[in-house]
Structure 1
Amino acid sequence: MLLETSLCDVCEEECDVPNQIDFQCAWCLRTVHTDCKPKIAEVCDFGPYKKFVIPPNCVTLETKRAGVRFRKSHVITIHDPGWTPWTPLIVLGNRKSGNGDGSHVLSTFRRLLNPLQVVDLADKSPEEALHWVTLVPSRGQSLILAAGGDGTAAWILNTIHSMKMDPAPSVGIIPLGTGNDLSRVLGWGKLFNKDSCSAFQILDSLTRSQVAHLDRWSVQIKSIRQLRLTRAIKSKWMYNYLSIGVDAQVALDFHNTRESSLYICSSRAFNKFLYLTFGTQQAMERLCKDLEQRIELYLDGTRVNLPPIESVVVLNIPSWAAGVDLWKLGRDSEDGTSCSEDQKMDDAKIEVMALYSSFHIARLQVGLSEPLKLGQASQVKIKLLNKTPMQIDGEPWLQPPAMIILSHVDKANVLMLSTETE
Structure 2
Amino acid sequence: MYTSLNNPPVSICPLGTGNDLSRVLGWGRYYNKKRLVTMLQQIPNAQPIVLDRWQITFEQLAITNPIEESQNLRRCLSYFLDHPKFVRETDRSSYQNYRASLNVRFTNYISFGLDAAVVLDFHDRRIRHSSKFTSPFKNKLIYPNTSRKYVREFALWRAWNLTPYMRLFCDGENVTNSIRHCYTVVLLNIPRYGSGTHPWSRISSTTIRNQTDRFDQIRSSTFQSPDSSDYIPKDSRFTTSYTFNTIISTTSSTNTEQIGKQDISERKIEVLGLDSMQMALIHIGFRGHRIAQCSEVRIELIRSMPVHMDGEPFYLPQSIVVNIAHAGQVLMLRKETS
Question: Which band: TM-score by shorter chain?
Answer: 0.5 to 0.7
Asked if the contact 1:346/1:411 (under 8 Å) is kept, the reply is yes
Q: Which residue of 2 aligns with 1:100?
A: none
Q: Which residue of 2 aligns with 1:268?
A: 136
Given the alignment of the two structures, is residue 296 of structure 1 paired with residue 133 of structure 2, yes or no? no
Cα separation, 2, equivalents of 1:180 and 1:275: 15
Q: Which residue of 2 aligns with 1:177?
A: 16
Q: Which residue of 2 aligns with 1:406?
A: 324
Shift of 1:385: 0.5
1:173 match: secondary structure = coil
Shift of 1:204: 2.9
Given the alignment of the two structures, is residue 222 of structure 1 paired with residue 52 of structure 2, yes or no? no
Query: Which of 264, 268, 272 is matched with 1:349 structurally?
Result: 268
Shift of 1:371: 0.8
Distance 1:186 1:337, change over 3 A: closer
Shift of 1:262: 7.3
Q: Which amino acid aligns with 2:114?
A: V
Q: Which amino acid aligns with 2:281?
A: R
Shift of 1:238: 1.2
Cα separation, 1, equivalents of 2:165 and 2:257: 25
Which structure dedicates a bigger proportion of its chain to helix? 2
Asked if the contact 1:243/1:390 (under 8 Å) is kept, the reply is yes
Which structure dedicates a bigger proportion of its chain to strand? 1
Distance 1:329 1:308, change over 3 A: farther
Shift of 1:398: 1.4
Asked if the contact 2:303/2:317 (under 8 Å) is kept, the reply is yes
Shift of 1:355: 0.2
Cα separation, 1, equivalents of 2:287 and 2:164: 22
Given the alignment of the two structures, is residue 278 of structure 1 paired with residue 149 of structure 2, yes or no? no
| Structural mapping, 1:82-231, within 5 Å | 167-195=6-34, 197-199=35-37, 201-224=38-61
Asked if the contact 1:238/1:392 (under 8 Å) is kept, the reply is yes
Shift of 1:222: 1.9
2:267 match: secondary structure = coil
Unaligned runs of 5+ residues in structure 1 are 1-84, 88-138, 142-165
Q: Which amino acid aligns with 1:352?
A: V
Cα separation, 2, equivalents of 1:258 and 1:419: 35
Given the alignment of the two structures, is residue 319 of structure 1 paired with residue 163 of structure 2, yes or no? no
Asked if the contact 1:223/1:400 (under 8 Å) is kept, the reply is no
Given the alignment of the two structures, is residue 332 of structure 1 paired with residue 332 of structure 2, yes or no? no
Q: Which residue of 2 aligns with 1:17?
A: none
Asked if the contact 1:217/1:409 (under 8 Å) is kept, the reply is yes
Asked if the contact 1:222/1:234 (under 8 Å) is kept, the reply is no
Distance 1:285 1:356, change over 3 A: closer
Distance 1:269 1:186, change over 3 A: closer
Asked if the contact 1:257/1:263 (under 8 Å) is kept, the reply is no
Asked if the contact 2:9/2:333 (under 8 Å) is kept, the reply is yes
Shift of 1:419: 2.7
Distance 1:337 1:185, change over 3 A: closer
1:347 match: secondary structure = coil
Cα separation, 2, equivalents of 1:388 and 1:332: 25
Shift of 1:280: 3.3
| Structural mapping, 1:36-75, within 5 Å | none
Give the structure with higher Rg (CA).
1
- State the 4+ residue runs in structure 1 displaced beyond 6 angstroms: 225-228
Over residues 364-406 of structure 1, what are the superposed CA-to-partner deviations in whole Å (9 max), with x where a residue is unaligned?
1122x32100010010111110001111111111111211111
Asked if the contact 1:220/1:235 (under 8 Å) is kept, the reply is no
1:309 match: secondary structure = coil
Q: Which amino acid aligns with 2:295?
A: S
1:172 match: secondary structure = coil
Q: Which residue of 1 aligns with 2:294?
A: 377
Asked if the contact 1:175/1:188 (under 8 Å) is kept, the reply is yes
Q: Which residue of 2 aligns with 1:116?
A: none
Higher relative contact order (CA 8 A, sep 6+): 2
Q: Which residue of 1 aligns with 2:219?
A: none
Q: Which residue of 1 aligns with 2:90?
A: none
Q: Which residue of 2 aligns with 1:58?
A: none
